[in-house]
Amino acid sequence: MNIAHHEMSFWRRYIFSTDHKVIGFQYLITGLIMAAIGGYLAYVFRYNLAFPAESIPLFGSLGPKEYNAFITSHGAIMIFWVAMPLLLAALGNLLIPTMIGTDDMAFPTLNMLSYWFFFLSAIVLLLSFFVPSGPFDGGWTLYPPLSADAYINTEPDIWKSFMTGGTLIILALALEFVSMLMGGINFLVTTINKRAKGMTLLKMPIVVWFINFAVIDFMFSVGPIIAGAFMLLLDRVAGTGFFDAYRGGDPVLFQHMFWFFGHPEVYVLLFPSLGVIAEVISTFSRKALFGYKFIIKASLIAIVLSVVVWAHHQFIAGIDPRMATFFSIGTILISIPFAGIMLSYIATLWGGNIQLKVPMMWALGFIAIFLVGGLTGLYLGSDTFDIYVHDTSFVVAHFHYTLFPITFFGFFAAFYYWFPKFTGRMYNTVLAKIHFWFTFIFFQGFAFPIFFLGLDGQHRRINDYSAFDSLMSSWHISFRQFATISAIILILSQFIFLFNLLKSLRSGKKSEENPWKANTLEWQTTSPPPHGNFVKYPQVYRDPYDYGNPDMKEDYLPQNKVI
Amino acid sequence: MYKKNTDENGLGHEVPVPKEMDYHGHPNYNMIYLTLIVLLGISLLGDLMPAKSLLIALVFGTAIIKAALVIRNFMHLKYENLFLWIISIGAVLFILLAFFWGMYPDFPLVKLELAPK
Amino acid sequence: MNRTITVRPGLRDIPQGRLGMWLLIAGELVIFGAAVVSYLLMRIRYPEWGEQAQYTSTALGALNTFVLLTSSFFVVKAHKASLAKDSKNVVRFLSLTLLCGLIFLIVKGIEYSTEISHGFTLRSPGLVDSGQGVASLFWMYYYLMTGLHGLHVLAGMIAIFVVMLQVRKGKYFHRVELAGMYWHMVDLIWIFLFPLLYILK
């Protein structure tokens, strides 16, 4: 079954590889590098926010324009160049073929192309830091007229307008969407077409379901923003006026196009992460996942709802108030399926034989933090409250309470869970636990105070509050500084992870094939899996979560085991 | 002719039937082409329509029929699995309707006042 | 060969090429659909766009529709020939398709040059200066949608050309169908652009 690829050159094997595992690692490494850049930006502007007068160590001084450019880049990088590759692309590439028991993706060349498009998009984005006008500073949502750039409209100079942060970030986004679209089509076709013998749809692990749900949600919501990005590019480069009110265009149209994609995007990130949590929780509770079919049905409902709630980001954009009411109701409705999914996870823990291993700690941390994010989402979903706190730090705290656990807790749970499988080595558990506690505690220290600052009216895009007396009382200042110091420790504690990662890769002890005694197919092959993943293609006989079967000697029963 | 791509146990994957070839049936392409051209002709008769609403109904009616003919016969969707119907017709239409409907009150119902330059 | 099929194939029996192509088509339709939806909303908002639409040539648009429908017919003929591994016929029909695509692009070029000579460009500065900014928006959408469609025609032609070369060598007959499906999608989009931009005045 193994095709000999050993004679391949280094370039074909590790750089322009078509092997799904190599591509998964490429996405992983690129995502982590981008996360480091995003984290550095966060450090710089958080420091500036807390101590506006001081010069920033390792950077220098930061003005209001650069502050906005940095928060814009931080947002865009963290969502599109960290969360998307880590959660969707890397996990999808690594997990789908191994978990459904096949050798590779359906279209390996397309897969390679997808990564290189992604790489190109990251380069284009980073290029915007080196153009004369600096990176784009109008917010990661790219709203016109700030992004449609009025000066260039009158006398378009194609080269000059290309070399601006705004054009580059739009171009980079468009490239990234194309890349993820290619990767996503690949995931769907692989899942539908290449499952192992006996692997019916309802025997697939939840994470495979959820990555595919994420892809479906992405595929069908990304159209408007691609069209919108194209229009915005024309506005900047060719001088059209799609979003220029003087010529009959409408900036609100872009907001609709952006959020029609932007809101489902949250679920695109959430789904893979929730899938990982499902695997981890079921494995370490030694108990079947509670409500497997219910979880799938609830997520289908959530997907359908996710495309009719987008305008809750635009309550103050002057949209029709009747629609605002509808979108409020839709937003609050969509929390029901997700609450159901979370309750299923908690019900899985109930009465389980819980093993508090490292991935499990991240999974529980995810649930704890995400619940806060979800509950504040209910506040913000209601238009009456949202109008009051719109664009304040309350919103910032809310989406950090959702996106941080989604991106990092979900990713680290996956990382610590599958690291032994895909590298064949075990990490240092003590360091991993220290990493968890530092991240968990200092994340709270960073994000929780911001809720109160936001309720008092601290705006998202202002770096210096010395002109606002009501925001300069001693508790405001100390909350800001407390949040910043926590954020800095949070960022620094990621070096524990980096150290652990590098050390384990070099000299970690060899891991077993199935260290967690899990059921799904990827654990039933060697660690790391060989080229082609399985020496003999598995035949699947049962559900992925058959733990604690009383008839068996051991408490787990792999999907492909013949009784 | 349609061959089922499974082994005797009803399990897929291991039996590489030449899937790409001859996977679906074939309608009478000449007839469909002829119908399409006739429909194109009809849609050009819009000028004879007494009312604008009738004109709109005519042109979009013919366009939808043409599209349906192309999708069902030329792209062979009528021989396909239900999943492809849902993905390519159902989901796309749902998305576009949702998009249209969510934006409708913000554009046609609001007269834009032009900003002075 | 002549038996009509009454059983729908199972999910797993869809050849992966076809499945991938359908997913790509769904994605593309949403992209175009979004542009069309925003055009429609603006069209309803600005009834004065009807006057601008007078300047698009229905005759040339109809000719282009005819050309694309014909090319779709040729592609499907090529697909049928590809099932019999009849590479000579496949190449013949695919080159006819390419010819149709070329005619389409030439007609499009004639249209564009007439419109540009009337002062209707991407920015239509003449219209904007005379206070008809709203009218110039119509031309932006016109160029956006036809231009995007034109790019897809070009992409489809390249795909068909590549497949044609492969089939000439007697390889990859199944790709005829896949390239053909993409081409049908291009046709499909045009079927809707034609009434939207050319017929409704």
Judged against a pLDDT cut of 80, whether residue B10 lies above it is answered with no
Rounded-to-integer distance, Cα C177 and Cα C162, Å: 13
Q: Which chain B residues in 48-77 lie under 8 Å from chain A, judged by CB atoms?
A: none
Of A142-156, A288-302, C103-117, give the lowest mean pLDDT range.
A142-156
Judged against a pLDDT cut of 60, whether residue A131 lies above it is answered with yes
Q: Identify which of C23, C76, C194 has the shortest CB distance to residue B87.
A: C23
The residue in chain B having the minimum alpha-carbon distance to the alpha carbon of residue A308 is B98
Q: What is the mean pLDDT of chain A?
A: 91
Q: In chain B, how many H helices and how many E strands?
A: 4, 0
Distance from CA of C180 to the nearest CA of A (A): 19
Residues 6 or more apart whose CB falls under 8 angstroms from that of A297 comprise none
Distance from CA of B46 to the nearest CA of C (A): 8
Distance from CA of A186 to the nearest CA of C (A): 7
Asked if A320 and B106 come within 8 Å (Cβ–Cβ), the reply is: yes
Which of A226, A232, A252, A323 to mutate against chain C (most C CBs within 10 Å)? A226
Bridge partners for A197 per DSSP: A539
pLDDT of res. B14: 34
Judged against a pLDDT cut of 70, whether residue A228 lies above it is answered with yes
Residues 6 or more apart whose CB falls under 8 angstroms from that of B67 comprise C188, C191, C192
Residues 6 or more apart whose CB falls under 8 angstroms from that of C166 comprise C172, C175
Q: Which is nearest to A415 in space by CA: A366, A476, A473, A485?
A: A366
Q: Which is nearest to C13 in space by CA: A536, B18, A539?
A: B18
pLDDT of res. B45: 83
Helices (H), A465-559: 474-507
Distance from CA of C170 to the nearest CA of A (A): 22
pLDDT one-digit tens code per residue, A311-329: 999 999 888 888 999 999 9
Q: Are A190 and A208 spatial neighbours (Cβ–Cβ below 8 Å)?
A: no
Asked if B106 and A223 come within 8 Å (Cβ–Cβ), the reply is: no
Which letter, b or e, does each residue of C101-129 get, where b requires 16 or more Cβ atoms within 10 Å of its Cβ?
A: bebbbebbeebbeebeeeebbbbbeebbe
Distance from CA of C86 to the nearest CA of A (A): 27
Distance from CA of C47 to the nearest CA of A (A): 12
Bridge partners for A392 per DSSP: A459
Rounded-to-integer distance, Cα A100 and Cα A193, Å: 10
Q: Are C17 and C163 spatial neighbours (Cβ–Cβ below 8 Å)?
A: no
C13: three-class secondary structure by DSSP: helix
Q: Does residue A97 sit at the B interface (CB-CB below 8 Å)?
A: no
The residue in chain A having the minimum alpha-carbon distance to the alpha carbon of residue C12 is A193
Judged against a pLDDT cut of 90, whether residue A153 lies above it is answered with no
Provide the percentage of residues in chain B whose pLDDT is more than 70.
Answer: 76
Distance from CA of B83 to the nearest CA of A (A): 10
Which of B9, B17, B84, B99 to mutate against chain A (most A CBs within 10 Å)? B99
Q: Which chain B residues in 26-45 lie under 8 Å from chain C, judged by CB atoms?
A: 26, 29, 33, 36-37, 40, 43-44
pLDDT of res. A34: 96
CA A447, A451, A454, A458 dihedral sign is: negative
Main-chain dihedrals φ then ψ at residue A560, nearest 5 degrees: -105, 10
Look at chain A and count its residues. Answer: 563
A563: three-class secondary structure by DSSP: coil
Asked if A106 and C16 come within 8 Å (Cβ–Cβ), the reply is: yes
Exposed/middle/buried for residue A11 (C-beta within 10 Å: 0-12, 13-18, 19+): exposed
Asked if B102 and A260 come within 8 Å (Cβ–Cβ), the reply is: yes
pLDDT of res. A70: 94
Distance from CA of A157 to the nearest CA of C (A): 14
Q: Which is nearest to A223 in space by CA: B97, B95, B113?
A: B95
Amino acid at A216: I
pLDDT one-digit tens code per residue, A342-390: 999 999 999 899 999 999 999 999 999 999 999 999 989 998 899 999 9
Residues 6 or more apart whose CB falls under 8 angstroms from that of B63 comprise B43, C191, C192, C194, C195
The rounded radius of gyration (Å) of the Cα atoms in chain B is: 22
pLDDT of res. A134: 86
Tokens of A263: 């809101």
| Mean pLDDT, residues C104-109 | 96
Host H or E run for residue C5: none
pLDDT of res. B115: 58
Rounded-to-integer distance, Cα B79 and Cα B73, Å: 9
For chain C, the chains sharing at least 3 beta-carbon pairs closer than 8 angstroms are A, B
Place of tokens 């609050």: A332
Position B17 confidence tier, pLDDT thresholds 50, 70, 90: very low
| Mean pLDDT, residues A28-50 | 95
Q: What is the mean pLDDT of chain B?
A: 79
| ipTM, interface predicted TM-score of the complex | 0.92
pLDDT of res. B81: 85
Which of C57, C134, C188 to mutate against chain B (most B CBs within 10 Å)? C188
Report pTM.
0.93
Residues of chain C in contact with residue B84, where contact means CB-CB under 8 angstroms, are 14, 19, 22
Tokens of A530: 């060989």
Q: Are A425 and A509 spatial neighbours (Cβ–Cβ below 8 Å)?
A: yes
State which of A509-518, A536-545, C101-110 shows the largest mean pLDDT.
C101-110
DSSP A60-75: B---HHHHHHHHHHHH
A246: three-class secondary structure by DSSP: helix
pLDDT of res. B68: 94
pLDDT of res. B116: 60
pLDDT of res. C15: 86
Amino acid at B58: L
Q: Identify which of C14, C32, C137 has the shortest CB distance to residue A241.
A: C137
| Mean pLDDT, residues A59-64 | 88
pLDDT one-digit tens code per residue, C133-172: 888 999 999 999 999 999 999 999 999 999 999 999 988 8
Q: Identify which of A196, A216, A248 has the shortest CB distance to residue B112.
A: A248
The residue in chain C having the minimum alpha-carbon distance to the alpha carbon of residue A188 is C20
Can the peptide bond before residue A420 be classed as cis, meaning omega within 30 degrees of 0?
no
Residues of chain B in contact with residue A220, where contact means CB-CB under 8 angstroms, are 91-92, 95
Q: Does residue B61 sit at the C interface (CB-CB below 8 Å)?
A: no
CA C157, C162, C167, C169 dihedral sign is: positive
Domains of chain A in sequence order: 17-524 (1.20.210.10)
Judged against a pLDDT cut of 50, whether residue B7 lies above it is answered with no
Residues of chain A in contact with residue B107, where contact means CB-CB under 8 angstroms, are 250, 253
Q: Does residue A200 sit at the B interface (CB-CB below 8 Å)?
A: no
- Secondary structure letter of residue A55 according to DSSP: P
Judged against a pLDDT cut of 60, whether residue B75 lies above it is answered with yes
Domains of chain C in sequence order: 15-199 (1.20.120.80)
Q: Which chain A residues in 448-507 lie under 8 Å from chain B, judged by CB atoms?
A: none
Give the count of Cβ contacts less than 8 A between chain B and C.
157
A423: three-class secondary structure by DSSP: helix
pLDDT of res. B6: 41
- Secondary structure letter of residue A556 according to DSSP: B
pLDDT of res. A9: 79
Taking phi over 0 as left and psi of -120 to 50 as alpha, with beta for the rest, A183 belongs to alpha
Residues of chain C in contact with residue B24, where contact means CB-CB under 8 angstroms, are 5, 9
Amino acid at A104: D
Judged against a pLDDT cut of 70, whether residue B110 lies above it is answered with yes
Residues of chain A in contact with residue B110, where contact means CB-CB under 8 angstroms, are 320
Rounded-to-integer distance, Cα A168 and Cα A174, Å: 10
| Mean pLDDT, residues A58-70 | 90
- Secondary structure letter of residue A510 according to DSSP: B
Tokens of B90: 């159902």
Which of C22, C30, C139 to mutate against chain A (most A CBs within 10 Å)? C30
The secondary structure of A176-226, three-state, reads HHHHHHHHHHHHHHHHHHCCCECCCHHHCCHHHHHHHHHHHHHHHHHHHHH
Host H or E run for residue A274: helix A251-285
Q: Identify which of C26, C42, C148 has the shortest CB distance to residue A219.
A: C26
Residues of chain C in contact with residue B113, where contact means CB-CB under 8 angstroms, are none
Asked if A228 and C34 come within 8 Å (Cβ–Cβ), the reply is: yes
Which of B60, B74, B76, B78 to mutate against chain C (most C CBs within 10 Å)? B74
Q: Are A458 and A50 spatial neighbours (Cβ–Cβ below 8 Å)?
A: no
Asked if C13 and B81 come within 8 Å (Cβ–Cβ), the reply is: yes
The distance of Cα C186 from the centroid of its chain, to the nearest Å, equals 3
Asked if B107 and A253 come within 8 Å (Cβ–Cβ), the reply is: yes
| Mean pLDDT, residues A280-286 | 94
The secondary structure of A125-156, three-state, reads HHHCCCCCCCCCCCCCCCCCCCCCCHHHHHCC
Q: Are B67 and C190 spatial neighbours (Cβ–Cβ below 8 Å)?
A: no
Rounded-to-integer distance, Cα C190 and Cα C192, Å: 5
For chain A, the chains sharing at least 3 beta-carbon pairs closer than 8 angstroms are B, C
Rounded-to-integer distance, Cα A433 and Cα C7, Å: 56
Q: Identify which of B14, B98, B109 has the shortest CB distance to residue A197.
A: B14
pLDDT of res. C122: 86
Bridge partners for A556 per DSSP: A547
pLDDT of res. A549: 83
Exposed/middle/buried for residue A50 (C-beta within 10 Å: 0-12, 13-18, 19+): buried
Asked if B98 and A308 come within 8 Å (Cβ–Cβ), the reply is: yes
Q: Which is nearest to C64 in space by CA: C110, C108, C109, C114?
A: C108
Distance from CA of B49 to the nearest CA of A (A): 31
Tokens of A120: 């190109």
Distance from CA of B24 to the nearest CA of A (A): 17
Q: Are B104 and A322 spatial neighbours (Cβ–Cβ below 8 Å)?
A: no
Q: Are A444 and A404 spatial neighbours (Cβ–Cβ below 8 Å)?
A: no
Judged against a pLDDT cut of 70, whether residue A1 lies above it is answered with no
| Mean pLDDT, residues A474-495 | 95
- Secondary structure letter of residue A486 according to DSSP: H
Residues of chain B in contact with residue A260, where contact means CB-CB under 8 angstroms, are 99, 102
| Mean pLDDT, residues A66-94 | 94
Rounded-to-integer distance, Cα C32 and Cα A227, Å: 7
Judged against a pLDDT cut of 60, whether residue C74 lies above it is answered with yes
Rounded-to-integer distance, Cα C35 and Cα C140, Å: 11
Rounded-to-integer distance, Cα A102 and Cα A533, Å: 7
Residues 6 or more apart whose CB falls under 8 angstroms from that of B78 comprise B27, B72
Distance from CA of B28 to the nearest CA of C (A): 11
Host H or E run for residue A38: helix A20-50
Q: Identify which of C26, C33, C80 has the shortest CB distance to residue B87.
A: C26
Rounded-to-integer distance, Cα A331 and Cα A377, Å: 9
Provide the percentage of residues in chain A whose pLDDT is more than 90.
Answer: 72
pLDDT one-digit tens code per residue, B50-69: 788 888 899 999 999 999 99
Tokens of A138: 């109008």
Q: Identify which of C35, C41, C42 has the shortest CB distance to residue A227.
A: C35
Asked if B92 and C184 come within 8 Å (Cβ–Cβ), the reply is: no
Helices (H), C84-173: 87-117, 125-129, 133-168
pLDDT of res. A43: 95
Q: Are A443 and A490 spatial neighbours (Cβ–Cβ below 8 Å)?
A: yes
pLDDT of res. A162: 80
